[in-house]
Amino acid sequence: MNLNGLFRIKQSKDIFFRNHPKAETFAEEIKSKGFCEGMEIAVAVRYPDGTEHKTGIRVQASDMQLLNTFREL
Residue 40 phi, psi (nearest 5): -110, 135
At 46 the pLDDT is: 97
Q: How far is CA 15 from the centre of its chain?
A: 15
At 73 the pLDDT is: 66
pLDDT band at 30 (very low <50, low <70, confident <90, very high): confident
Whether pTM exceeds 0.85: no
3-state secondary structure the chain: CCHHHHHHHHHHHHHHHHHCHHHHHHHHHHHHHCCCCCCEEEEEEECCCCCEEEEEEECCHHHHHHHHHHHHC
Instruction: Summarize pLDDT for 37-54 with one digit per residue, the tens.
Output: 999 999 999 999 999 999
